[in-house]
Structure 1
Amino acid sequence: MTIQLKLNEVETYIGQFHILQGISLEVRKGEVTVLLGRNGAGKTTTLRTIMGLNPSTKGTITFNNEEIQSLPTYSVAQKGIGYVPEDQGIFSELTVEENLKVAMKNESDSTKERLNYILNLFPDLKKFWKKPGGLLSGGQKQMLSIARAYVNDNELLLIDEPSKGLAPIVVEKVMESIIEMKDTTTIVLVEQNFMMASTIGDHFYIIDDGQTVQNGPMEVLKEDDEMRRKYLGIA
């Protein structure tokens, strides 16, 4: 299977703190790759480093066989990588419609098709089309954040903790939407909810103290109680 994204011994500092200390991973095209680990392990920093928001100081990041670690964030996005940050990153004062239009790179037929698809996937966005983003519920904001990244013809989506703070019924809806999107888009997912991660994920990487320490098919992790207990603190 085609390797779409590859990180090789990537290191990143935030100020004086050495956060990523040698992250290596491969993301296969058409799969959901889940990054797991305890809080503070470096999962979010890994996504931000891929996007150029926390530039790496060492190692290589390759997307579609092209090194991107030295590119500014806007150039990384132009390559076809969408990012859904942990804090959702929507514009609170703009309506749902305006949030999506600002996110669009163009208004091509393909973009319009993806917009229609995402509105059918998240009917609440259509219902509150003219409502300011700041007045949406937590679940609706998360849906809008995912929609903003998906509406463009991105080949890869980086999604950071989409279930955080959401009610179980909303988590199920977000899970269903990501499962549907994986048919057309490769996804790298950071997720603390192991039930969600194990249901959606095809492959996993465990990050511990800024390094990748374990990886494999998700089925392996689901069956390995000791690995889950050691690195994730769950039975």
Structure 2
Amino acid sequence: MTLLKVDAIETYLGQYHILQGVSFEAKKGEVTVLLGRNGAGKTTTLRSVMGLAPISDGVITYNNKPIHKLPTYKISNKGIGFVPEDQGIFNDLTVEENMKVAMKKKDDVTMERLEWILKLFPDLKTFWHKKGGYLSGGQKQMLSIARSYINSNDLLLIDEPSKGLAPIIVEKVMRSIQEMKEKTTVILVEQNFMMASMIGDRFYIIDDGKTVHSGDMKELKEDEQLKKQYLGIA
């Protein structure tokens, strides 16, 4: 079942025509990876889905209903979580306060989900009363993902979760996304091809603001020419 469908969207940032025909689908229960070189338009694509970078053309549907004309808060309320590249946590609030601010409800289901999250990210439990600004880069990333996941969102958009992290922390983040895959659908933007190839089910390559290739991640692993041409992987 297709949960999210992005059809030939175009997005301008000021005078710059960033997206010039991006299309992809995210199927329920899968990790869909958006790949491409820096500046290709991957982050703008996620921001366009969330309504943070309004599209000028094309259609975005979620559960077969158009969402591209909705404000960001209504898109979020439909069950789409967003983990931005800059993490988006509140540095002056504790881990506990960051999580409470993110919660839309505080019912039994949410509290059970919080318990599961703290098992998934034990560092957050350890530093529960520590301010976000004092966390390490990896812990901030864990908190950012946890904040988006606490509300039982059916879809998570995660932008560059491994950026700037040590390899051992990248492995923790990767394992967490693999576990979350059992409960939610993920669209992942990731420059770390090793990580993307291990957790992704399907891929779409964006180049100069356009979708140029897509397919099964297993196929991309074996296609050396495609990786070299669009991802710079020799």
Name the structure 2 match of 1:56.
55
User: Structure 1 counterpart of 2:93, which letter?
Assistant: L
Aligned residues: 234
Aligned CA-pair RMSD: 0.4
What is the match of residue 27 of structure 1? 26
Distance 1:33 1:110 in 2: 27
With structure 2 as the length reference, what TM-score do the two structures score? 0.99
What is the CA deviation profile of residues 140-170 of structure 1, one whole-angstrom value per residue up to 9, with x for unaligned ones? 0000000000001100000000000000000
The corresponding residue for 1:129 is 128
Q: Which residue of 2 aligns with 1:89?
A: 88
Does residue 68 of structure 1 match 2:53? Answer: no
Counterpart code for 1:117? W
Distance 1:134 1:66 in 2: 38
Residue equivalent to 2:108 = 109
Q: Residues of 2 paired with 1:221 and 1:128: CA distance?
A: 39
Q: Secondary structure at the match of 2:55?
A: coil
* Partner SS for 1:57: strand
Q: Structure 2 stretches of 5 or more lacking a match?
A: none
Q: How does 1:1-235 map to 2 (within 5 A)?
A: 2-235=1-234
State how far apart, in whole Å, the 2-side matches of 1:55 and 1:106 are. Answer: 28
The alpha-carbon deviation at position 113 of structure 1 amounts to 1.1
Measure, in 1, the Cα distance between the counterparts of 2:109 and 2:46: 26
Cα deviation for residue 125 of structure 1 reads 0.3
Q: Percent identity?
A: 70
Amino acid at match of 1:14: L
| Other structure's SS at 2:130 match | coil
Which amino acid letter does the alignment assign opposite residue 144 of structure 1? L
**Partners of 1:185 and 1:15 in 2: how far apart?**
34
Offset from partner CA, 1:111-148 (integer Å, 9 cap, x none): 11111111000001000000000000000000000000
Separation of aligned partners in 1, 2:139 and 2:75: 27
Distance 1:228 1:108 in 2: 46
Q: Secondary structure at the match of 1:38?
A: coil
Runs of 5+ unmatched residues, structure 1: none
Please give the alpha-carbon distance, in whole angstroms, between the structure 2 residues aligned to 1:26 and 1:157. Answer: 14
Alpha-carbon separation, structure 2, partners of 1:8 and 1:48: 15
Q: CA deviation at 1:205?
A: 0.2
SS in 1 for 2:183: coil
Q: 2-side partners of 1:80 and 1:13: how far apart?
A: 26
Deviations 1:188-235 (A, max 9, x none): 000000000000000000000000000000001000000000000002
Whole-Å Cα distance in 2 between the matches of residues 201 and 44 of structure 1? 17
Q: Which residue identity lines up with residue 168 of structure 1 in the other structure?
A: P
Q: What CA distance in whole angstroms lies between the structure 1 residues aligned with 2:112 and 2:48?
A: 30
Q: TM-score, normalised by structure 1?
A: 0.99
Partner secondary structure for residue 70 of structure 1:
coil
Aligned structure 1 segments of 4 or more residues deviating by more than 3 angstroms: none
